[in-house]
């Protein structure tokens, strides 16, 4: 990807934003090391990625438990990159954070290129850049140990390449499917990238002609173009898809079905769901959400420059609502599955801001004082996001502390106090699997999808607690201990109804919990066949 530098102002905006991005992530990491005394992650999912990567680096293939391949990695490309540094436990965590920072910087540069290719001025492109690097959830993502920054980088690079191709004269367009390549790679970082890939094809295939006030689409590509796109996507996606198909019977990771499908199957979009998703992006970017309407109208009026930012911005939330099928859509912790929308939210919002301020005078005079209105407006738009940086840092540190004080602490306690061959049934599998040598049964179903019919399918049973099938599966699996947050399963009394005789052997209580499923994590002995340590 090349970045088109039209003026010295372009370089100044880009370099300033990159400096802010690098400085903010380094300060986040430094605060983490200083206050928490060790690097860690804000979610247990990060440890899941690292466990997959460690086994991959050890030659065990795509497995969570050595020797058993499973389609549980949502982001196989991220897993492969983590594996390059996962061979050393002391390096693995730092390596994941370094990768996150690098991809964060790539996404920042790509966003500037996309903004300029989409016709935004240097001022509004620079504003979009600063809003992006100061967004608390974007900074959180860069150090999260998860695939978010990788997906942001690949999808935004693809967006920049796509918009440059769409906006170019047909005679000057290249024939190689570069945008498809980037979007296909993005699909290996998040399955939602498949939707982005299809939307990019639709946007590239149509050229919008203006007939008076009407916009009319005209097909501008032929069969050779379509075949090149399909071939490129197949070459990138087929190996992983076929590998997952051979393991699980589906080309998609097991997490896609677990986290996306509601009990009622697919359905129509729900306004309640869409409002819930708007709230995720409104808190860090209120002005951008307020200017979306103007941005949509301005984008349609300039449809020849491409509509992919608008299509992606609106299609992804609708897709989540449809897949939920009437249930509450699973947006990931803190709505993180929507974080990839921040770049296009900023592009469309800044376009709306640009359109809304076209008739404003350049300056206002107060006696001898002259004020330039647009830079002042840009500062006003930037203020809420900038003011969210420190609260965002505090939340990030609390997230890391919560995971470390619960799941990581439990994994270390288990490694020191339980027999290494004791079979565990675990709610949060990541950190416990990473730190404890014990065989695990995943009660959520990411790496043990065979549990799913027992927890939400035809084997669930009719026990009033809705835990009958769950208990049957755990008994069939001959587990020795449960490691869970009891509140997630209706409380200890409800669990005791379907699995009588459980003995608490270890308890962890969180004082300032904003991250985990509940405030108390318990290790419960299923039987007295093994000598259990006394409860602490």
- Phi, psi for 428 (deg, rounded to 5): -105, 110
pLDDT in tens, 114-146: 999 999 998 899 999 999 999 999 999 999 999
Over 327-350, what HEC string results?
CCCCCCHHHHHHHHHHHHHHHHHH
503-509/63-65 β-pairing: unpaired
Per the CB < 8 A criterion, the answer to whether 506 and 410 are in contact is yes
Per the CB < 8 A criterion, the answer to whether 162 and 151 are in contact is no
Percent residues over pLDDT 90 in the chain = 66
What 3-state DSSP class applies to 404? Answer: helix
Strand ranges for 24-129 from DSSP E = 63-65, 68-69
Q: With a cut of 50, say whether residue 532 has pLDDT above it.
A: no
* Closest CA relative to residue 232, chosen from 257, 206, 204: 204
Q: Which residues pair with 432 in a beta bridge?
A: none
Q: With a cut of 90, say whether residue 415 has pLDDT above it.
A: yes
Torsion of the alpha carbons at 94, 98, 101 and 103, rounded to the nearest 10? -130
The pLDDT value given to residue 266: 67
For the chain, the C-alpha Rg in angstroms (whole number) is 25
Per the CB < 8 A criterion, the answer to whether 431 and 38 are in contact is no
- Phi, psi for 427 (deg, rounded to 5): -80, -50
- Which residues make Cβ contacts (< 8 Å) with residue 234, sequence separation at least 6? none
Q: With a cut of 80, say whether residue 369 has pLDDT above it.
A: no
Calpha distance 513→333 (Å, rounded): 14
pLDDT in tens, 49-81: 999 999 999 998 889 988 888 888 889 999 999
| Residue showing tokens 């439990």 | 410
For 369: left if phi > 0, alpha if psi spans -120 to 50, otherwise beta; the answer is beta
- Cα angle 474, 475, 479; round to 5: 65
pLDDT in tens, 257-314: 666 554 446 667 788 888 888 999 999 999 999 999 999 999 998 888 999 999 999 9
pLDDT in tens, 13-27: 899 999 999 999 999
- Phi, psi for 451 (deg, rounded to 5): -80, -20
206-211/214-219 β-pairing: antiparallel
The pLDDT value given to residue 517: 92
pLDDT in tens, 36-50: 889 999 999 999 999
For 326: left if phi > 0, alpha if psi spans -120 to 50, otherwise beta; the answer is left
User: What would the two tokens of residue 3 be?
Assistant: 């970045």
- Mean pLDDT over all residues of the chain? 89
The pLDDT value given to residue 367: 57
Looking at per-residue pLDDT, the higher value among 253 and 402 belongs to 402
What 3-state DSSP class applies to 442? Answer: strand
- Phi, psi for 113 (deg, rounded to 5): -60, -40
The pLDDT value given to residue 534: 44
Q: With a cut of 70, say whether residue 28 has pLDDT above it.
A: yes
Burial class (CB in 10 A: 0-12, 13-18, 19+), 453: middle
**DSSP, res 405:** I
Give the 3-state secondary structure percentages of the chain, helix then strand then coil, rounded to 5: 60, 10, 30
Calpha distance 329→453 (Å, rounded): 20
pLDDT in tens, 301-349: 888 899 999 999 999 999 988 888 777 888 888 999 999 999 999 999 9
pLDDT in tens, 194-217: 999 999 999 999 877 666 556 677
Torsion of the alpha carbons at 361, 365, 370 and 374, rounded to the nearest 10? -30
pLDDT in tens, 141-183: 999 999 999 999 999 999 999 999 998 888 788 888 999 999 9
- Phi, psi for 159 (deg, rounded to 5): -65, -45
**Is residue 533 very low, low, confident or very high in pLDDT (cuts 50, 70, 90)?**
very low
Per the CB < 8 A criterion, the answer to whether 16 and 22 are in contact is no
User: What would the two tokens of residue 54 be?
Assistant: 């460690």
């Amino acid at each position: 990807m090349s970045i088109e530098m039209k003026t010295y102002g372009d370089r100044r905006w880009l370099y300033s934003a990159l400096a802010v991005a690098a400085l903010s992530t380094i300060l986040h990491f430094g605060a983490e090391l200083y206050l928490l005394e060790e690097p860690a992650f804000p979610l247990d999912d990060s440890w899941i990625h690292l466990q997959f990567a460690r086994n991959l680096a050890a030659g065990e293939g795509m497995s969570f438990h050595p020797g058993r391949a499973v389609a549980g990695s949502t982001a196989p490309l991220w897993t492969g990159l983590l594996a390059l540094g996962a061979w050393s436990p002391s390096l693995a965590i730092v390596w994941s954070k370094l990768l996150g920072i690098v991809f964060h910087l790539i996404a920042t540069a790509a966003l500037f290129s996309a903004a300029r290719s989409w016709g935004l001025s240097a001022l509004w492109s620079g504003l979009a850049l600063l809003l992006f690097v100061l967004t608390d959830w974007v900074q959180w993502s860069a150090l999260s140990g998860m695939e978010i920054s990788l997906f942001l980088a690949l999808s935004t690079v693809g967006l920049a390449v796509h918009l440059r191709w769409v906006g170019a004269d047909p005679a000057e367009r290249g024939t190689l499917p570069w945008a498809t390549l980037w979007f296909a790679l993005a699909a290996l970082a998040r399955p939602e990238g498949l939707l982005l890939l299809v939307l990019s094809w639709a946007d590239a295939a149509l050229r919008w002609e203006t007939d008076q006030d009407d916009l009319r689409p005209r097909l501008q590509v032929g069969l050779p173009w379509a075949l090149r796109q399909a071939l490129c996507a197949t070459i990138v996606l087929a190996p992983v898809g076929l590998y997952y198909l051979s393991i699980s019977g589906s080309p998609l990771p097991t997490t896609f079905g677990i986290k996306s499908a509601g009990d009622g199957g697919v359905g129509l979009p729900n306004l309640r769901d869409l409002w819930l998703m708007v709230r995720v992006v409104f808190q860090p970017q209120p002005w951008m959400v307020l200017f979306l309407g103007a941005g949509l109208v301005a984008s349609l009026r300039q449809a020849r420059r491409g509509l992919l930012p608008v299509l992606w911005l609106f299609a992804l939330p609708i897709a989540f609502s449809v897949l939920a099928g009437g249930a509450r859509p699973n947006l990931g912790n803190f709505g993180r599955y929507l974080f990839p929308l921040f770049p296009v939210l900023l592009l469309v919002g800044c376009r709306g801001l640009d359109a809304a301020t076209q008739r404003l005078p350049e300056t206002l005079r107060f006696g001898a004082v002259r004020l330039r209105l647009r830079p002042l407006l840009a500062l006003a738009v930037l203020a809420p996001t900038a003011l969210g940086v420190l609260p965002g840092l505090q939340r990030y540190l609390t997230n890391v502390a919560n995971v470390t004080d619960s799941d990581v602490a439990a994994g270390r306690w288990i490694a020191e106090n339980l027999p290494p061959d004791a079979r565990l049934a675990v709610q949060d599998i990541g950190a416990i699997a990473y730190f404890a040598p014990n065989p695990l049964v995943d009660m959520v179903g990411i790496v043990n999808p065979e549990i799913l019919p027992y927890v939400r399918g035809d084997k669930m049973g009719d026990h009033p607690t809705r835990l009958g099938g769950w208990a049957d599966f755990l008994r069939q699996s001959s587990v020795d201990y449960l490691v869970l947050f009891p509140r997630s399963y209706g409380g200890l009394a409800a669990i005791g109804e379907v699995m009588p005789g459980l003995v608490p052997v270890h308890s962890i209580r969180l004082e300032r919990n904003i991250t985990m499923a509940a405030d108390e994590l318990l290790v419960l002995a299923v039987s007295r066949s093994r000598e259990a340590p006394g409860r602490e």
